[in-house]
Amino acid sequence: MKRAAVVLSGIVIAGLFVVPALAFTRSHAIKACNDSKFKPRRFTIAQSCWADSGIYARKSAWRYWDRKMLGDRWARADAKIYRNDCNPSCAAGHFHHRAAHVWLTGRAWCKSVHRHVYKVQHIKYVGPDKGVGPDIRWPRGWRVLSCP
């Protein structure tokens, strides 16, 4: 009886150390220039650290998070990408949006936030351009981010 109690208490104590360690292994997305968040609904694209946050994703619905494939972890969201046309200036400009799939990959440890974050973004647009015109350059393809 005493032996079973000792074994059970050992399992409980080991569990107390394992669960907090696992909590720190989940990945975060870079939400803004100096912030990261787990599955954010809104986040900047290509770390546009301007005062008006000129390019950002909003209404993000995460389809996958921390999926493993070919030895790397990745995430995918359906989102709307918002872009300021900066016409006549960025402060007075208007925001336009397009539907897109956003992939995050390149999971790495960031010392500044003490977490694993996704450091690579990839954007693929799934909807039409909404007739905004050629003067708006929509971000596309792969971009590597730095730690917040």
Query: 49-70 pLDDT, tens per residue?
Result: 555 557 888 888 999 998 888 7
For residue 138, is it within any domain?
A: yes
For residue 123, is it within any domain?
A: yes
Domain with 132 in it: 28-144
For residue 51, is it within any domain?
A: yes
Which range is least confidently modeled, 2-16, 35-49, 63-77, 121-135?
Answer: 2-16
Asked if the model's pLDDT at residue 20 lies above 50, the reply is: no
Q: Tokens 């897109």, residue?
A: 100
For residue 2, is it within any domain?
A: no
Residue 8 per-residue DSSP state? H
β-bridge partners, 93: none
* Length of the chain (residues): 148
User: What does the pLDDT average to over 68-97?
Assistant: 84
Give the number of domains in the chain: 1
For residue 19, is it within any domain?
A: no
Best mean pLDDT range from 3-7, 28-32, 37-41, 66-70: 37-41
For residue 21, is it within any domain?
A: no
3-state DSSP call for residue 52? coil
For residue 89, is it within any domain?
A: yes
Residue of 49 and 37 predicted with greater confidence: 37
For residue 68, is it within any domain?
A: yes
